[in-house]
A and B are shown apart, each in its own frame.
Chain A
Amino acid sequence: SQTIHQWPATLVQPVGSPLSLECTVEGTSNPNLYWYRQAAGRGLQLLFYSVGIGQISSEVPQNLSASRPQDRQFILSSKKLLLSDSGFYLCAWVSRGRTDTQYFGPGTRLTVL
C-alpha cells in the first residue's frame, strides 16, 4: 500500500532563517506531487505541484521554492523565512496522469518567530 511521509512534524524557526521540508511517497511510482499551506479560515492554498522529476509549477509568488530531486521526493525550501510563512504545510500525491483522489501526508506545523 502507499504511504506518504513528511518531516519534521513541527518546526519553530526564527525570521530570516532557511527552511527545508521534506515529503516522500512509498508504494507508487511517478506520482504527481503537491505542496499546500493550510491556514485557519483560508483553506488549502496550492503552493507548488510537480508532474515529474525536476518539473515544478509554482502557483503563488513568494519566498518559497520547491524541488523534486527524485521521483518520490518533494522538498519545500526557503532561503529566508518571513513571519507570514507560519502555517501548516501539507504534501499530497496523485497517480501520474490522473486528476483523481489526492492522498495527503500528516503535515508539518511551521512557526516562524
Chain B
Amino acid sequence: AQSVSQHNHHVILSEAASLELGCNYSYGGTVNLFWYVQYPGQHLQLLLKYFSGDPLVKGIKGFEAEFIKSKFSFNLRKPSVQWSDTAEYFCAVTTSGTYKYIFGTGTRLKVLA
C-alpha cells in the first residue's frame, strides 16, 4: 500500500534558522506531490505542489521543495524561517489513475521569536 513518511514530528527553531522537513513516499509509479500547511486556527491550505518538470518547486512564503525520484523524497525547505511560519506541515501524494490522496503524519513547527 502507498504510504507517506514524515520523520520529523516536532521541530523547534529560532527565527532566521534554516528549515528542512523530510517527506518520503512509497510508490514506484508516477506521483503528484504536495505540501500543505495548517496555521493555528486556519484551514489546511496548499503550500506547493509538484506534478512534472523542474524537480525544484517554489511555493508561497519563500518555501521550496525538491523532488528526488531516486530517493522517493520531496523535502520542504526554507532558508530563513519566521515566527509566522509556526504551523503544522503535511506532505501528501497522489498517483495517476486514482483519486486517493495519502497524507503523512504531519510535522509541527514552532518558531521562537
Stretch at the interface among A22-30, A70-78, A100-108: A100-108
Stretch at the interface among B13-21, B65-73, B77-85, B96-104: B96-104
Chain A contacts with B in 72-107, Cβ cutoff 8 A: 90, 92, 94, 99-102, 104-107
B44, A104: Cβ atoms closer than 8 Å: yes
A101, B49: Cβ atoms closer than 8 Å: yes
Q: Give the chain A neighbours of B4 by CB distance below 8 A.
A: 43
Given contacts A90-B44, A106-B43, contact A44 B90 (CB under 8 A): yes
Sorting the interface of chain B by its residue count into under 10, 10 to 19, 20 to 34 or 35 or more gives 20 to 34
A49, B99: Cβ atoms closer than 8 Å: yes
Sorting the interface of chain A by its residue count into under 10, 10 to 19, 20 to 34 or 35 or more gives 20 to 34
A99, B43: Cβ atoms closer than 8 Å: no
Complex: how many Å from CA A3 to CA B44? 13
Instruction: Indicate which residue in B36, B96, B104 contacts A99 across the interface (CB closer than 8 Å).
Output: B96
Where the two chains meet, the residues of B that have a C-beta atom closer than 8 Å to any C-beta of A are: 4, 6, 9, 32, 34, 36, 43-46, 49, 90, 92, 94-96, 98-106
Chain B residue with Cβ nearest A107: B43
A41, B98: Cβ atoms closer than 8 Å: no
A/B interface sample: 26 pairs, CB < 8 A: A34-B101, A36-B103, A41-B105, A41-B106, A43-B6, A43-B90, A43-B104, A43-B106, A44-B92, A44-B103, A46-B101, A49-B99, A51-B99, A59-B100, A90-B44, A94-B99, A99-B98, A99-B99, A99-B101, A101-B49, A102-B34, A102-B92, A104-B36, A104-B43, A104-B44, A104-B45
